[in-house]
Chains A and B, each alone.
Chain A
Amino acid sequence: MEKAKFINSRTIKLLIYPAVIIAYAVFMIRSGISDIRGFFTLGEVEGDAWLGIEGDDSVILMLKGILAFIITAAFIAFLVAVIRDIKTNIAELRLGTAPDSLGTAASRFMDKKFYVVALFLPVAGVLIFNILPIIFMTLIAFTNYGGDIVPPKLIDWIGFDNFKKILVLSELKATFVKILGWNILWAVLSTAINYFGGLFLALLLNKKCVKGKTFWRAFPIIAYAVPGFITFLGFKFMFSYGGPINYYITRAGANAVGFLDIDAAWTARLIGLGVNAWISIPTSMLLATGMLSNINPELYEAASLDGAGKWKQFVKLTLPFVIFSTTPTLITSFVGNFNNFGVFYFLRGGMYIDGYFLASDTDLLINWLYNLSIENNYYAIGAAISLIIFLITSVFSLMTYVKSDAFRKEDTYR
C-alpha cells in the first residue's frame, strides 16, 4: 500500500485547527473581552477637547462589541464543525483509510459542499451590509443616541423609553398617529390602483379585437424603463409654479396653483397617487400579461358553454386565477408602497408643517424616518420607528406569505 504523503488533508487540519483556536484566544485577550465589556457600558470616560481627554466613542464601542459577539458565534460554530470532523477522521483511522491528498480534498469539497463555496461571498456580504447594520440599528433603538447626544458625548442604554416617547409623548405621538393613518390609506389605495390598473391594461391588450399588441405595450414599457428619479423630478417640474399646468391655468385668467405647496395637502396626495400609478402600472401590467397567458383557454370555452357571460367569466375565472398566482407580488407591492420613499421625497421633500414634528402631511413613515435620522440626527427615535414599521409590515406579510401556496408548495412543479 502506497504510503500517504506527509502533507495531506489530515496533517493540514492538525495545523489549521489549533491555529484558529489560538487566534481566537489571542483576539479575546487582546481586545475581545474589553469589546464585550464596552458593549454593555458604552463607554465610561467622556472626551473633552478642552482638557485634552480622549474619551470613549460609544458608537465604535457598540460596533466592536457586536463584532466580538459575531466572532464568538462564528468560533463556536467552527468548534462544532471541528468536533464533527475529528469524529469522522477517527472513524476513518480505525478503518485504515488513507487521507486524501490536498488536491483531491479540495476538489471533493468543491463538489460535495458546492453550496458552501457558492454561498460564502453572498452570505458574507449580506451579513456585513444587511444583518450587521440592522442589528446595530435595533440596538440603537434602545439607547439615547441622537439629538444632542452624539460622540464625544457618551451614549447610554435607556430601555424602551424611545418607544414610550413615540407612542405616549404628545408631540411625537401626534405626528406618529397622523402619519400612520395616511400611510395605511396610501398603501391600500396605491396598491389597489396599481394592481387593478395593470390588470385592466393587460386584459385590454389580451382582447382578440386589439391588433398591434406590441405597439400598444411599448408605451407603458417606456414609462417603466425611465429611471424613477427622472419621473419624480419631471412631474415635480410639471406641477411647479412655472410648469406647463400652471401656464395654462394663468393663461385662462386664474391664479397659479401651488399644487405641491405647504398648504396643498390633498392635491399633493392625489398627485402622489397619480405619479406612483404612472410608475407602477406598467410593472403590474407586465406581470398580469404573464399570468393571463398561463390560463387554460378551455376553461373559458367550458364556461361560455355553461352560459357564463363575459363579466361572470372575469369574476369567476380570471380574477381568482390572477389573484392566486400574484399573491406574493401583491404583498411585496403592498410593503413596497407602504415604504415608498421616492414619491413624496422628490415631490415635497424637506417640508416641515405645523402640527407635525419634522414632517409634512404627505410624508409616509419612511419619509419621517429619513427626516429624523438622516437630516436631523435623531438616530435612536428613527431606529425605534424603523422597528415599528418592521413590526407592521412583517406581521402583515409573514402571515399571508408563509401561508401562501407559492412558498409552501415551491416544489410542486419539479
Chain B
Amino acid sequence: MKKHITVRGAADAVLAYAILIAAAFVFFFPVLWLILASFSSTGSIYDFKGFFPSGYSLETFKKLFTDTAMYDYPSWLKNTLFVSSLSCVIGTVLVILTAYTMSRFRFRMRKPMMKTTLVLSMFPSFMGMTAVYLIMVNFGLINKLLSLVLIYSAGAPMGYLVQKGYFDTINNSIYEAAKIDGASNPVVFTRITLPLSTPILVYTALTSFAWPWSDFILPNMLLKNRDLWTVAVGLTHMGETEFSRFAAGAIFIAVPIVILYFALSRFLVAGVSDGAIKG
C-alpha cells in the first residue's frame, strides 16, 4: 500500500515538473526570441533562420539610438519617460487619497460615489475616449504631452478599489488611539497611514507608471506629430523589414519594467491579493 502511494507520488511529481517545464517554455520562449532578434546583425525578419537570427551583433542597438531620421527612438523614449513619470506621481497621489478616504470615512455621498464609479467602469473605454478626443480637438489640446498626463492622472482614481481593499485591512484601533491622543485627520493620514502603506504605495506607483509606459491607444489618438510619439506608437509603425530594430526597441523598454516588477514582486502579490479578497 505504502509503496503504491510513493510510486504514484513520483509519477505525480514527474508530471508536475513536465507541465512546469512546458509552461516555462511557453512563457519564456517568445521573450527569448525577441531578445535574440534584438542582437541580430541583419534587420529584416526574412533574413532569420526560423526563430534564430543568422548572425549576432550590437549594431541594431547602436542604430536605434543614432539613426533617428525615420525612427527617432531617443525622443520617443524621452516623451514616454516624461509622460509616465509625471502621471505616476500625480496619479498615485490621487488614487491613494481617494482610496484612503473611501475606506476610512463614512459620509453621505460615499455609497453613491462608489456606485457611480462602478457604473462608470461599465462604459466601454472608447466611449469616453472619443469624447475626450473631440473635446481636446475643439479646445486645441491635441498634440501636447501634457494633455496625456492630464488624462492619465485624472482617470487614475477610478481604479481605487485595490488600494481601498488594502486600507480596509488596517486595524481601526490604531486610528482610535491616535484620535484619543488628539491627532487631526491630516496628521493621522501623513503620520500613521502613509508609513503603514509602503506595499500599496509601491504597487500603486508601479502600476500607474506601467500604464502610460505601455499604453498605445491614447497617445496614438492624441499625438499626431512624429517627434511627439511615445515608444509604443513608434514601434507600431515598424514593419517586417525593421523587425530587429523593433525587437531592440521593445527589449529596451520592457527590461526596466520587468526588472521593476521582479524587484517589487513581493509588494505586487500583496497588492493584487489584498485588494482582490475585499473587492
Contacts and interface: CB of A to CB of B under 8 A. Distances in A.
A50 interface: no
A75 interface: no
Given A204-B20, A209-B13, A230 B235 contact: yes
Contacts of B30: 223, 231, 234-235, 238, 278
Interface string A262-302: 00000000000000001000110011011101100000000
A410 B279 contact: yes
A206 B51 CA distance: 33
Given A63-B138, A125-B94, A133-B128, A244 B157 contact: no
A188 B30 CA distance: 26
A151 B23 CA distance: 54
A217 B132 CA distance: 40
Contacts of B221: 374
A206 B248 CA distance: 36
B46 interface: yes
Interface stretch (B57-65, B68-76, B210-218): B210-218
Nearest to A128: B154
B124 A227 contact: no
B16 A114 contact: no
Contacts of B26: 278
B227 interface: no
A379 B135 CA distance: 13
**Range, interface on chain A:** 35 or more
**Range, interface on chain B:** 35 or more
A219 B27 contact: yes
A121 B97 contact: yes
B237 to A, nearest CB: 10
Given A222-B258, A230-B235, A115 B127 contact: no
A119 interface: yes
Nearest to B25: A219
Contacts of A407: 279
A286 B240 CA distance: 34
A257 interface: no
B146 interface: no
Nearest to B154: A125
A204 B13 CA distance: 10
Contact of A233 (B134, B235, B274): B235
A373 B130 contact: yes
Interface in A83-130: 107, 110-112, 114-115, 117-119, 121-123, 125-126, 128-130
Interface in B227-279: 232, 235-236, 240, 243, 246-247, 250, 253-254, 257-258, 260-262, 265, 268-269, 272-274, 276-279
B120 interface: yes
B186 A114 contact: yes
A210 B46 contact: no
B24 interface: yes
Given A115-B105, A201-B23, A242-B46, A374 B189 contact: no
A326 interface: yes
A413 B16 CA distance: 36
A414 B154 CA distance: 30
27 contacts: A117-B186, A125-B154, A125-B155, A126-B120, A126-B158, A130-B158, A133-B132, A134-B131, A137-B127, A140-B131, A209-B13, A219-B24, A225-B260, A230-B214, A230-B253, A233-B235, A234-B250, A241-B240, A242-B46, A242-B240, A243-B45, A286-B273, A291-B273, A389-B127, A390-B124, A394-B122, A406-B279
Given A115-B101, A242-B48, A293-B273, 19 more contacts: A122-B98, A125-B154, A129-B155, A130-B158, A131-B116, A133-B130, A210-B16, A219-B23, A225-B257, A225-B258, A225-B262, A278-B30, A286-B272, A286-B273, A290-B269, A373-B126, A383-B127, A404-B279, A410-B279
